[in-house]
Structure 1
């Protein structure tokens, strides 16, 4: 059963919102510089997440976090910003139905990086699924 505590529930919601992100962004960036669009999007995300944290009673002093936490959250933030900037640029230049799936090559890269950096060991069945995603990306990226 898929309860609200299930990682799968939240991952599926993430996929729905990511899909909507591509559609809304493709419409919204018409005639707008992609970097400016990314900045506007980021500002809105900051406001929305601030409300989630504040209204959810989850606020705590970020200065009490460890240096390691700050380092890796900072690196994650930099990677996110670069990813979004590249994504918006790609959306401005290409079709959303092609850009978004190629962007999901990140799934393959996450699996490889998780093995290298986190010591995770996907099962053969999981590698098959990852390989299928990679194959789908190749098919979508090939010119007709």
Structure 2
């Protein structure tokens, strides 16, 4: 199944990621009952690391890294490290917010990452966006506001 994932296409994979993200939110909120959010985040990271190591091992991707044949440049290491640090910051803040806030509101605010990604992809990556994309970003911002303010 894992080998077939890339052949699903970006839309199917994106929907699968969204479904997984919904599970993170709902299961995370349920798991935070009486648990420190930092501890919960650390446990989640360990579980994810074990799963991902298993996936990398099962797909033959871990061997080249362990034996120095992965061909990762310094630039790749830098940005993978920065992505890891960004992810850790996001997880810590997300689980802390879930602990004290409404699930749908926290999830809506977290999805502002889409607006940030859209903006940063235009500014830093020089990816062009048309009027539909910019309109979608505005509608997204309005939707996040409406969902986060729903009390």
TM-score (norm 2): 0.88
CA distance in 2, matches of 1:61, 1:83: 26
TM-score (norm 1): 0.92
Select which of 102, 113, 127 maps to 1:95.
102
Match of 2:52 in 1: 49
1:67–1:82 Cα change, 3 Å: same
CA distance in 1, matches of 2:41, 2:107: 16
Select which of 21, 26, 29 maps to 1:26.
29
- 1:37 correspondence with 2:40: yes
CA distance in 2, matches of 1:124, 1:96: 32
Select which of 56, 61, 72 maps to 2:65.
61
CA distance in 2, matches of 1:19, 1:139: 19
1:75-94 paired onto structure 2 within 5 Å: 75-94=82-101
Deviations 1:63-98 (A, max 9, x none): 541111111111110000000000000000111111
Q: Which runs of 5+ in 2 are unaligned?
A: 1-5
Per-residue deviation, 1:122 = 1.2
Q: CA RMSD in A?
A: 1.6
CA contact (8 A) 2:104 2:147 kept: no
CA contact (8 A) 1:87 1:103 kept: yes
Q: Equivalent residue of 1:82, what SS?
A: helix
Q: Equivalent residue of 1:120, what SS?
A: coil
Question: When the two structures are aligned, how many residues end up with a matched partner?
Answer: 142
CA contact (8 A) 2:32 2:99 kept: yes
- Stretch deviating more after TM superposition (29-38 or 133-142): 133-142
CA distance in 2, matches of 1:143, 1:51: 41
Select which of 110, 114, 121 maps to 1:114.
121
